[in-house]
Amino acid sequence: MFESVNGLPLTLPSSTATRMLRFLNSAVRTPFFLLALMLLAGTARAQRQPIVAAGPRTLLTSDSVKLFVQVAGRGTPCLFVHGGPGAGSYSFEKLGGNRLEDKLQMVYLDQRGSGRSGSSRTKNYSMARMVQDLEEVRQQLGVQKWVVMAHSFGGTIATAYAQKYPQRVQALVLTNAVLNPVAGLDSMVAYGSRLLPAAARPAPGLPAMQRFGMVMGALQQQKLAGQLQFSHDSLAARAMRASRAVPANSDFAQQVFSGRLADYGQDYAPATAQLTMPALIILGKDDRTTGATAATFRFPHQQIVTLPGKHNSFQEQPDRFRQVVTDFVQKNR
């Protein structure tokens, strides 16, 4: 049957070879043996993910919103849920995600009302609708399970998705993630105020959204905006160039900052205690804009990694970020 094993000649006595052939011929005819083969084949099919064609596409949601999706790379499917709100996925794709594409098949989605995607005619940007968009993208791509990776404000949407569709989430990767948008806003305003000269700081008694707007405006005027989320101005400039390279849709962001979407005032941190999929949490050592610390995250099976830098670990520590993410996914395939 075999001519050699590990390069060494193998010769079976003719009687032994004959008995083996008779056994195999009879075994494949038995119902038990056939059933075992069928089960093994079925298991292999169930574990094998379909191949998703690379490239950009527009997917239509069940309520007729056009979503921009870019698929790139090979390996375990990984959905990227961008922050902002409304930032779009392009900057992460070009400044961090592209370094993962030799190990992961990245699915870059621009959320409705964001980036290159269309807006909702009915202004439906509820958390439930955003979560449903992610699930409809999964269904239309034909992916059975995927890693869900989120940055910043995207942490809320990714966590809500994992709550509703845990069976579809192979693992979670939350990098510089916000789980409580109100706490994140307060933290950002407080840190931004400290960066400003005392005379430029807004009065503490003003409403939160008003203080936020004043702080952001003052940071821009003082040319300090980059220091809010980046350790070096050069990194901030590079991120700005990337974000301006593609069209921007600000509809989702406007709806969130208008205060009309109560879903985004919710704290999603308590929900993490009930989510049993593996979770990788990447924190920036000097990130003061998320309102989160290591203690915020309560996943039963979590790994927490703190990297030097501020709010964009994938850009500030690209090599370490890639290593941590790919090792985690490999371990939890």
Alpha-carbon distance 162 to 166, whole Å? 5
Contact status, residue 284 vs residue 197, Cβ threshold 8 Å: no
Domain positions in the chain are 13-47, 55-180+235-331, 184-229
Among residues 301, 264, 261, 260, the alpha carbon closest in space to that of 280 is found at: 301
In the CATH scheme, what is the code of domain 55-180+235-331?
Answer: 3.40.50.1820
Which ranges in the chain belong to alpha helices (H)?
A: 14-27, 31-47, 90-95, 127-141, 154-164, 181-195, 208-221, 225-229, 233-243, 251-257, 313-316, 318-331
- Distance of alpha carbon 70 from alpha carbon 77, whole angstroms: 12
Q: What is the spatial distance between Cα 333 and Cα 323, in angstroms, rounded to a whole number?
A: 15
Identify the pLDDT of residue 205.
Answer: 85
Contact call for residues 209 and 259 (beta carbons, < 8 A) = yes
Query: At 247, phi and psi to the nearest 5?
Result: -60, 150
Other beta carbons within 10 Å of 207: 9
Whether the link from the prior residue into 9 is cis, omega within 30° of 0, is no
In the numeric block, the tokens 């964001």 are attached to 114
Mean pLDDT in order along the chain per 10 residues (333 residues): 34 40 39 37 45 92 98 97 96 97 97 98 97 98 97 98 98 98 94 93 88 93 93 95 93 90 92 98 97 97 98 97 98 93
Three-class secondary structure of residue 21 per DSSP: helix
